[in-house]
Amino acid sequence: MSQSHRLPQGGLIDRAKPVSFAFDGKRLDGYAGDTLASALVANGVKLVARSFKYHRPRGILTAGFEEPNALVELRSGARREPNVRATTAELFEGLEARSQNRWPSLAFDLMAVNQLASPAFVAGFYYKTFMWPAALWEKLYEPLIRRAAGLGRAADAADPDSYEKATAYCDVLVIGAGPAGLAAALAAGRSGARVILADDDFLMGGRLNAQRFEIDGNSSSSFASSIVAELRSLPEVTLLPRTTITGVHDGGVYGALERVSDHLATPAPHQPRQRFWRIVAKRAVLATGAIERPIPFGNNDLPGVMLAGAVSAYLNRFGAAPGKRAVVYANNDDAAKTVGDLVAAGCEVAAVIDARGDAPALHEAARACGATLVFGRTVARAYGFQEVSGVEVSGPKGDSFNVPCDLVAVSGGWSPAIQLTNHLNGRPKWDERLAAFLPGVTPPGMIVVGSANGEYGLRDAFVTGARAGAEAADSCGFSGPGFQTPRLLPEPEEAYGDGPWRPTIKRGKAFVDFQNDVTVADVELSAREGFRSVEHLKRYTTLGMATDQGKTSNVIGLALMAEITGKSIPDTGVTMNRPPYTPVAIGALGGAHRHKEFKPTRLPPSHFWAEEQGAVFVETGQWMRAAYFPRTGETDWLQIATREINTVRSKVGVYDASTLGKIDIQGPDAATLLDKVYVNAFASLGVGKARYGLMLREDGMAMDDGTTTRLGENHYYMTTTTANAAGVMRHLEFCKQWLWPELDVHMTSVTDQWAQYAIAGPRSRDVVAALVDDGFDVSNEALPYMGATELTVCGGVKARLFRLSFSGELAYELAVPARYGDAMIRAIVKAGEPFGICPYGAEALAIMRIEKGHAAGPELNGMTTGADLGMGRMMSKKKDFIGRAMAGREGLADSARPVLVGFRPVDRSARLRSGAHFLPKGAGNEAANDEGYMTSTAYSPSNGHWIGLGFLSRGSERMGEIVRAYDPVRAGDIEVEVVSPVFVDPEGARLRA
Amino acid sequence: MPEPLLARSALRAHVAPEIAAPAPGVVLRERTDLTLASVAAFKGREAELADAVRSAYGIELPTTPTRVAAGEVAFVWAGPGKWLATATGPVDFSTLPAAVADQSDGRSVLSVSGERARETLATLIAIDLHPRAFTSGDAALTHAASISVHLWQTDDAPTYEIAVFRSYAATLWRWLVHAGQSRGIDAKL
Amino acid sequence: MRIACPHCGLRGVDEFAYFGDASVTRPAADAAETAFADYVYLRDNPAGAHRELWSHALGCQSWLVVTRDTRSHAIETVEAARDVALARTSEAQS
């Protein structure tokens, strides 16, 4: 029978729009406006899940985001999503949901045998079992636990949907769109302030939709929709339904998750599935309401046991009856509303059981509907197979009787939803009268109103909300007419209830935390075993963990512990909450930035040309660099790099060096600044000359290196390594602004301004000569090694030409404005064709620099000094520079420190590996014998065997000695000869050719 | 004699896709006609620079994050004592009494306009672009999802111009197109 | 966290790079090695107000001296580091 529990009328669902969905493969119908939970309720489905540990049958406990039980798997395939709360999932046509944590089926779950073994699964079971023997962990225990435990299954294909991140600013952020939030938003919005109203529900109004009041002569739900309509008409008010504020961060920053398309089968074209907002608010009004608490009693987790407020919500908002014959069990007068709602919906109220003594409002409601009224007694247990069929009521004298029913509406009082007030470490305070935690120190700029502040009355919600909204706007400089509290009927009841926390008679498991299967007995065990503070209680029993973070259970667990230990609740501790308030998918936090768009990609000027050449690229930081340029028939990268190197060393090659950091330095104190940051002198550098420079950190370790050219008296052009460009720029600004503020010098990044190509090889001068315009002389005399000049190329394009070499060959670097970079590389290749030019990539360069013994990233590793790098003599004794003092420390000046030298295998066919450590021949494989380590290795085409660079203790004094390169990780132990780090042209004759 | 070199934008359709929209909510274009230069005042010569800019271009150098334009030339505040000089067409800023570095090739300038430009930018740029906070003539140095940008608003359409390091231009274009797709973006190179 | 750059206004912390203690001063070139060792390595770890250097790295490139309460992240003042450094220099000279 379809929708057997749907009421004939009422509710805020659209009965004209039926929606068909499936639960565990069974086709069911609901209406637009339903949640999955309300549609299941309307169809009389009570059993919806199996519990985490004992696999007990579970139903729907709540009607909101605090739901611990009714977690389902939604959608299928790549969109399959586990642990979706059925109570917040909006129904859409074709929705597929499946119960989880059961096998083979929900009604017949074999894992429920865990219940029989439940003594083994008590609190802390994972600390006690599966411990010995340790050998069984990996093979037996872990796979076993993994199969049995956990909630739901993640999708096993990539998420096909997109996500978005966005930033929003407002004067007033209102969190929660119940009566207090609506009043606050309207009071603030009417002033003209920029207001954002966020609510996790798709229908704004909170309890105005879930409960029945008469407001200004209309239903409370229509009053809510009229306020929402006015808010929508205000241009500076932004409404964010389906949006949960997930975190409060320093400086008035709030995280918010907007479920843009979760209510659709698939997102509309180009629409994100979810959007993660960073909201920057000058003021915030917290109007998150309160969360109802269950009462522990035996089998209080049976499907059909539901919180009273949720029962009202299903009846009033969704026109769905969670049961036909109800028992209401409460410790406060607020449950009177549920009694009234049940009666109004035509449900039978079999009994009203009040744990307190005589209390008028609830009892009045019971009498009015003719229900059996019991007070001063508690429910000992619920009974039934897979769903509730009655309760056993106990009295103080041990007597008891049964009341048959198919629904138990429970209200153990309310806990203000103050989680967000904890996020900046504000500790809540316990209120004895309300038996609840109230906000303590609130985040700066936040006002808490209505039920979230323990002001449960509807009138209080409107009054405190309106006042806070107006005040918040006022403090931002906006004033308006505010919001007048409307005429209300009836005046709501007090909602606070104190206990009973602990069932007087123990019959069956009495659950505190439904999601983690933590029972009253587990809390008692935790106390007995000495885990009595709230933090220990949480870790030992897992109370308050997982997706619901104990929203319905924390206070009960704490109160139980207090009762057991005879302490007060504040003395037992407080539960603190951290972001996120409700679970947030990692995808939403990443937004659009995933896969290849995870980080930006920087393209050098030759990129499009290199693509045309079929280059294989390598990511270097954010840069895409051509690694090598395969030619027809070439498959192996080393074969290709070898061919490129051989061409450079015998003819000529071209390489895009534009990714190097380039900094333009100008000003009367430019030379002074350079002398302070480099170990060597630059004031003495002649105009039109370049010099290699080494920078240290203040602790004496090498930071970066590069060449700097003096373009004019007060004008230098610095290059840095690709990886450190931004860091060096920041360092220079640090020196200029903080260390030596008197300096008159300016740095500007010109990395992207210039396309800079290295043209290297014995024929490079011929190529360059073919490119420069008439009248410019590039001969060795006019432009010697380490010379630089400004000229024009290719018919008037201004360029800078440097006689620099990283490859060790006769070489130039030619820089042109980046817009000409694409044309320039084509022109260079064309001009080089007669000389046999080939482009070379980062792999060839990396090998050639090892052949020349140039230090790079693996050598400038943050642990090496200038002396270690063999540049001790470069360090000026005549001037102060950053790192000078610390580089002179005894430990760093120790002559036994490992220094940079070269290595070649004694067996020339052997392969060298970076990371190997050097041990003396015949010494044991012990750390005590360690003499240094290999940093860079390569197969050298120029030498015909593997070569390496590394740091060896007293290495420069040990030329010709044989040591072992020991690499236990890769089972390597080979003999290597200590040699000069310069494997090609050690005299540097080619550079100066 | 080699052939003359052809100037090229940093953008190509395969890395910076074009999208046509009939009634676009946001329009994305590249400004390829701008001359750009970083200008920084030397110590004690700030007034000399201000005078030179005033007499050459009729522009009062801004000292707050704003952009002051006159005719084809504008000066955009770029940090204390620093500006980005812009001009439509070729203008030689190197004669100014200051540290001047040509940036015409160092930056690509993207123009983002239309009634949904603001919300498109809000997915990448974390500063407040609401008209109460940022308006025509305002400028900011900030970032677009970690890419350094220098942006300014030129009119109330609104139109924003975003100067970005050239090597990042394709990525920024792509990210803007992605964000703009749900908002009806018209992106044309 | 948000930091009020004296030049650019309030910006998210993701625009800034943290450097460290602003209360230490680089010793003069001729200072003893121990003075440099203190400067490089020795730091107080106050629970409360802490003067620290930040760079507005994804903004105007200014170095800033931020006075921040390490317990609450509340920021008391933000000054341009160059102004603080110039004041320090002129103080040392007078």
Q: What are phi and psi of C12, to 5 degrees?
A: -65, 150
User: At residue A499, does pLDDT exceed 70?
Assistant: no
Mutate to test the interface with B, among C3, C5, C7 (most CBs of B within 10 A): C7
Structure tokens at B28: 């994305």
- What is the mean predicted confidence (pLDDT) over A225-242? 98
Chain B neighbors of C11, CB-CB under 8 A: 126-127, 142
For position A1, what pLDDT does the model report? 46
Q: Which of A675, A703, A701 minimizes the C-alpha distance to A880?
A: A675
* Cα–Cα dist A178/A206, whole Å: 4
- The alpha-carbon gap from B6 to the nearest alpha carbon of chain C, in Å, equals 33
CB–CB of B123 and A667 under 8 A? no
* Cα–Cα dist A688/A801, whole Å: 10
Domain ranges in chain B are: 18-188
* Cα–Cα dist A211/B64, whole Å: 54
* Crossing angle (nearest 10°) for helices A335-344 and A308-316: 30
* Cα–Cα dist B2/A941, whole Å: 33
Question: Which ranges in chain C belong to alpha helices (H)?
Answer: 33-41, 81-93
Structure tokens at B49: 């620079």
User: At residue A495, does pLDDT exceed 70?
Assistant: no
Q: Which of A412, A413, A443, A431 minimizes the C-alpha distance to A577?
A: A443
Chain A neighbors of C36, CB-CB under 8 A: 698, 885-886
Residue A137 DSSP label: I
Chain A neighbors of C43, CB-CB under 8 A: none
pLDDT digits (tens, 9 = 90+) for A235-282: 999 999 999 999 999 999 999 999 999 999 999 999 999 999 999 999
For position A135, what pLDDT does the model report? 67
For position B25, what pLDDT does the model report? 96
Residue A131 DSSP label: -
For position B31, what pLDDT does the model report? 97
Residue A89 DSSP label: P
User: At residue A398, does pLDDT exceed 80?
Assistant: no
Considering chain A, what is the average pLDDT of its residues? 93
What is the secondary structure of A710-766 as a DSSP string? EEETTEEEEEE-TTTHHHHHHHHHHIIIII-TT---EEEE-TTTEEEEEEESTTHHH
CB A632 within 8 Å of CB A642 = no
C7 touches chain A (CB under 8 A): no
Chain B neighbors of A668, CB-CB under 8 A: 42
Q: How far apart are the first and last CA of chain C?
A: 38
User: At residue A505, does pLDDT exceed 90?
Assistant: no
C79 touches chain A (CB under 8 A): no
Q: How far apart are the first and last CA of chain A?
A: 95
Chain A neighbors of C33, CB-CB under 8 A: 885-886, 888-889
Pick from A248-252, A567-571, B124-128: least confident: A567-571
Chain A neighbors of B3, CB-CB under 8 A: 794, 827
Q: What are phi and psi of A800, to 5 degrees?
A: -120, 135
CB C46 within 8 Å of CB C23 = no
Instruction: Choose the closest CB to C1 out of A250, A698, A741.
Output: A250
- The alpha-carbon gap from A600 to the nearest alpha carbon of chain B, in Å, equals 6
Q: What are phi and psi of A275, to 5 degrees?
A: -130, 130
pLDDT digits (tens, 9 = 90+) for B16-75: 999 999 999 999 999 999 999 999 999 999 999 999 999 999 999 999 999 999 999 999
Please give the sequence-ordered ranges of beta strands (E in DSSP) within A189-251, or none if there are none.
Answer: 195-198, 214-215, 218-219, 237-240, 243-249
- What is the mean predicted confidence (pLDDT) over A491-509? 68
CB A901 within 8 Å of CB A968 = no
- Residue in chain A closest to B127 (alpha carbons) equals A167
Amino acid making up residue A119: P
Domain ranges in chain A are: 1-160, 163-290+416-476, 295-408, 612-659+753-847, 661-749, 895-992
What is the secondary structure of A630-655 as a DSSP string? --TT---HHHHHHHHHHHHHHS-EEE
For position A820, what pLDDT does the model report? 98
* Cα–Cα dist A314/A5, whole Å: 10
A811-817 vs A702-712, strand pairing mode: unpaired
Q: Homologous superfamily of A163-290+416-476 in CATH?
A: FAD/NAD(P)-binding domain (3.50.50.60)
C78 touches chain A (CB under 8 A): no
- What is the mean predicted confidence (pLDDT) over A577-584? 94
Peptide bond into A580 cis (omega under 30): yes
Q: How many CB atoms lie within 10 A of CB B7?
A: 16
Phi-psi region of A442 (alpha: psi -120 to 50; beta: other; left: phi over 0): beta
Q: Homologous superfamily of A612-659+753-847 in CATH?
A: Probable tRNA modification gtpase trme; domain 1 (3.30.1360.120)
pTM of the predicted protein model: 0.95
- The alpha-carbon gap from A598 to the nearest alpha carbon of chain C, in Å, equals 16
CB–CB of C61 and B79 under 8 A? yes
Instruction: Choose the closest CB to C15 out of B65, B79, B143.
Output: B143
Structure tokens at A327: 């028992």
Q: How many CB atoms lie within 10 A of CB A89?
A: 23
For position A534, what pLDDT does the model report? 87
User: At residue A460, does pLDDT exceed 70?
Assistant: yes
Neighbours of chain C (3+ CB pairs under 8 A): A, B
CB A354 within 8 Å of CB A360 = no
Query: What percentage of residues in chain A have a pLDDT greater than 90?
Result: 84
For position A359, what pLDDT does the model report? 73
In CATH terms, are A163-290+416-476 and A295-408 the same topology?
Answer: yes
Q: How many CB atoms lie within 10 A of CB A563?
A: 18
Chain C neighbors of A737, CB-CB under 8 A: 62-63, 80-82, 85
Chain B neighbors of C14, CB-CB under 8 A: 126, 143
For position A105, what pLDDT does the model report? 81
- What is the mean predicted confidence (pLDDT) over A958-981? 96
The domain over range C2-24+45-93 is classified in CATH as 3.30.2270.10 = yes
- The alpha-carbon gap from B20 to the nearest alpha carbon of chain C, in Å, equals 32
CB–CB of B142 and C62 under 8 A? no
Q: How many CB atoms lie within 10 A of CB B102?
A: 20
Q: Which of A852, A846, A943 minimizes the C-alpha distance to A627?
A: A846
A479 touches chain C (CB under 8 A): no
Pick from A49-53, A95-99, A653-657, A889-893: least confident: A49-53
Which run of H or E residues covers position A572?
helix A569-572
CB A522 within 8 Å of CB A411 = no
CB A403 within 8 Å of CB A393 = yes
- What is the mean predicted confidence (pLDDT) over A500-529? 86
| Unique residue bearing structure tokens 């390594």 | A721
Question: Which ranges in chain B belong to alpha helices (H)?
Answer: 46-57, 117-121, 169-180
* Cα–Cα dist A598/A591, whole Å: 9
CB–CB of B6 and A822 under 8 A? yes
- Residue in chain C closest to A443 (alpha carbons) equals C72
Residue A125 DSSP label: H
As beta bridge partners, residue A963 has A920, A976
B99-102 vs B82-88, strand pairing mode: unpaired
For position A494, what pLDDT does the model report? 61
Residue A444's Cβ-count burial label (10 Å; 0-12, 13-18, 19+) is middle
Mutate to test the interface with A, among B1, B5, B129, B147 (most CBs of A within 10 A): B5
- Residue in chain C closest to B144 (alpha carbons) equals C58
Amino acid making up residue A954: R
CB B161 within 8 Å of CB B113 = no
A95-99 vs B82-88, strand pairing mode: unpaired
- Specify the CATH number of the domain A895-992: 2.40.30.110
Instruction: Choose the closest CB to B105 out of A278, A770, A818.
Output: A818
CB–CB of B143 and C14 under 8 A? yes
Q: Which of A732, A948, A930 minimizes the C-alpha distance to A858?
A: A948
Chain B neighbors of A591, CB-CB under 8 A: 123
The CATH class of the B18-188 domain is alpha beta
The domain over range A661-749 is classified in CATH as 3.10.129.10 = no
Which run of H or E residues covers position A696?
strand A689-696
Mutate to test the interface with C, among B142, B147, B152, B164 (most CBs of C within 10 A): B142
Fold adopted by A295-408: FAD/NAD(P)-binding domain (3.50.50)
CB–CB of C2 and A252 under 8 A? yes
Instruction: Choose the closest CB to B101 out of A750, A795, A827.
Output: A750
A797-802 vs B34-40, strand pairing mode: unpaired
- What is the mean predicted confidence (pLDDT) over A838-867? 96
CB A550 within 8 Å of CB A575 = yes
- What is the mean predicted confidence (pLDDT) over A839-848? 97
Mutate to test the interface with C, among B43, B132, B135, B141 (most CBs of C within 10 A): B141
Q: Which of A252, A603, A590 minimizes the C-alpha distance to B123?
A: A590
Instruction: Choose the closest CB to A823 out of B5, B12, B174.
Output: B5
Q: Given pLDDT bands bounded at 50, 70 and 90, which one contains residue A106?
A: confident
* Cα–Cα dist B184/A686, whole Å: 57
CATH architecture designation of domain A1-160:
Roll (3.10)
- The alpha-carbon gap from B63 to the nearest alpha carbon of chain A, in Å, equals 18
Mutate to test the interface with A, among C10, C24, C34, C36 (most CBs of A within 10 A): C36
* Cα–Cα dist A729/C73, whole Å: 28
User: At residue A540, does pLDDT exceed 70?
Assistant: yes
CB–CB of C29 and A880 under 8 A? yes
CB–CB of C1 and A730 under 8 A? no
CB–CB of A167 and B181 under 8 A? no
Q: Which of A815, A833, A575 minimizes the C-alpha distance to A717?
A: A815
**ipTM surpasses cut 0.95:** yes
- From residue C58, alpha-carbon distances to A172, A253, A466, B144, C15 in Å are 28, 19, 40, 9, 5
User: At residue B128, does pLDDT exceed 50?
Assistant: yes
A214-215 vs A71-74, strand pairing mode: unpaired
CB–CB of A820 and B6 under 8 A? yes
Mutate to test the interface with A, among C5, C14, C51, C63 (most CBs of A within 10 A): C63
- Residue in chain C closest to A698 (alpha carbons) equals C40
For position A653, what pLDDT does the model report? 98
